[in-house]
Structure 1
Amino acid sequence: MKEKLPFLIYMAVGAVLMAVSLAIRSDYYRNLVFWMGFGTLVAEGVHLARQMWWQAPSRQAAYQAKRRQDHIDAVDERKQMLRMRAGWLCNAVMFFVLLFLGLLLALLQAQAWVIAMVFALLVFQYILGILIYRNFEKKL
């Protein structure tokens, strides 16, 4: 039950969001809150069902083998390096995507606050990458 509690808590949060949406007068915000709650409730329900399916007594051997393989994959140095490389590449790609999106929006004469928000995300991503790198450099 201990491993199922987080799923149940998030499902309750989703149900509460759906209930709160009934008291909201604005259609836009009512729909927004309702569907956020619905999405949370369904997603956590699917995760709970998947966990219960894997932990069924008939699948214990396969579940233990899967957990053992996941543990090996988590501590394998080559796979750690591949995950770090994938994260670095994703960061580099997103940097250029945000840069070109901001330039495209500027060329299309979008509102200034939209362009500023895209460039603020670009700067935030760059600064966050530097801070995380320096933090890892100190720890490792």
Structure 2
Amino acid sequence: MKKGNLYTGIGFILTGILLILIGYLLRENIDSSFLFGWSGGLIGPGILSLYKYYRWSSPENAGEYEKRLKEEKINLNDERKIMLRDKSGRIAYVIGMLLLALIIIIISVIRMFDIANISRWLVLGISLFLMFQYFLGIVVYRHLSKKL
């Protein structure tokens, strides 16, 4: 296994510990729950990365690791799986677009009937993101169609 995985794991853990210390020292001045959440979000994957590095670097697991690498390489280049990844990405993109449009409608109705105090900037921001995602899809499609 690559040494970069080991260094990444150590970096995640050290950054998480640093955020815990900063959150603890500044707990009276700021809401440090945000920092504690980030620290947990970094320490967990860091520990998992270290575990994977030491597990797959051990000599008794070397054969199984080579087998997994070979299988992963085949899966990444398999035409059927590439087509399935592309199709699933498109379906997820369309569902995301529909969900964003539905969220915009719901928030607009809530705002229109004064059910909750929702800023018009929130609706505008989500609407702009929806338009950005749509136009980005068109740009990427045109780029890929020229390239291929």
* TM exceeding 0.5: yes
- Which of these residues, 129, 132, 139, is aligned with residue 140 of structure 2? 132
Q: TM-score under structure 2 normalisation?
A: 0.82
Aligned-residue Cα RMSD (Å) equals 1.9
Deviation string, structure 1 residues 54-74 (Cα, Å, up to 9, x no partner): 332212111111111000000
State the aligned residue count: 139
Q: For the residues of structure 1 that align with 2:140 and 2:49, how far apart are their CA atoms? A: 30
CA contact (8 A) 2:9 2:45 kept: no
Letter of the 1:101 counterpart: I
Aligned-pair distance for 1:9? 1.8
Q: TM-score under structure 1 normalisation?
A: 0.86
- Which ranges in structure 2 are unaligned for 5 or more consecutive residues? none
Q: For the residues of structure 2 that align with 1:82 and 1:14, how far apart are their CA atoms? A: 36
Q: For the residues of structure 2 that align with 1:20 and 1:4, how far apart are their CA atoms? A: 24
Q: For the residues of structure 2 that align with 1:101 and 1:34, how far apart are their CA atoms? A: 30
Closer, same or farther: CA 69–114 of 1 in aligned 2, 3 Å = same
Deviation string, structure 1 residues 30-63 (Cα, Å, up to 9, x no partner): 1101220221112221122133223322121111
Rg larger in structure: 2
Stretch deviating more after TM superposition (13-22 or 66-75): 13-22
CA contact (8 A) 2:6 2:49 kept: no
- Provide the residue aligned with 1:40 in structure 2: 42
Q: For the residues of structure 1 that align with 2:12 and 2:136, how far apart are their CA atoms? A: 28
- Provide the residue aligned with 2:95 in structure 1: 93
CA contact (8 A) 2:19 2:36 kept: yes
Letter of the 2:14 counterpart: A
- Provide the residue aligned with 1:4 in structure 2: 6
Runs of at least 4 residues of structure 1 off by over 4 A?
Answer: none
- Provide the residue aligned with 2:130 in structure 1: 122
Closer, same or farther: CA 53–92 of 1 in aligned 2, 3 Å = same
Q: For the residues of structure 2 that align with 1:120 and 1:57, how far apart are their CA atoms? A: 53
Stretch deviating more after TM superposition (98-107 or 14-23): 14-23
Identity of matched residues, %: 23
Q: Which has the higher contact order (CA 8 A, sep 6+)?
A: 2
CA contact (8 A) 1:18 1:35 kept: no
- Provide the residue aligned with 1:31 in structure 2: 33
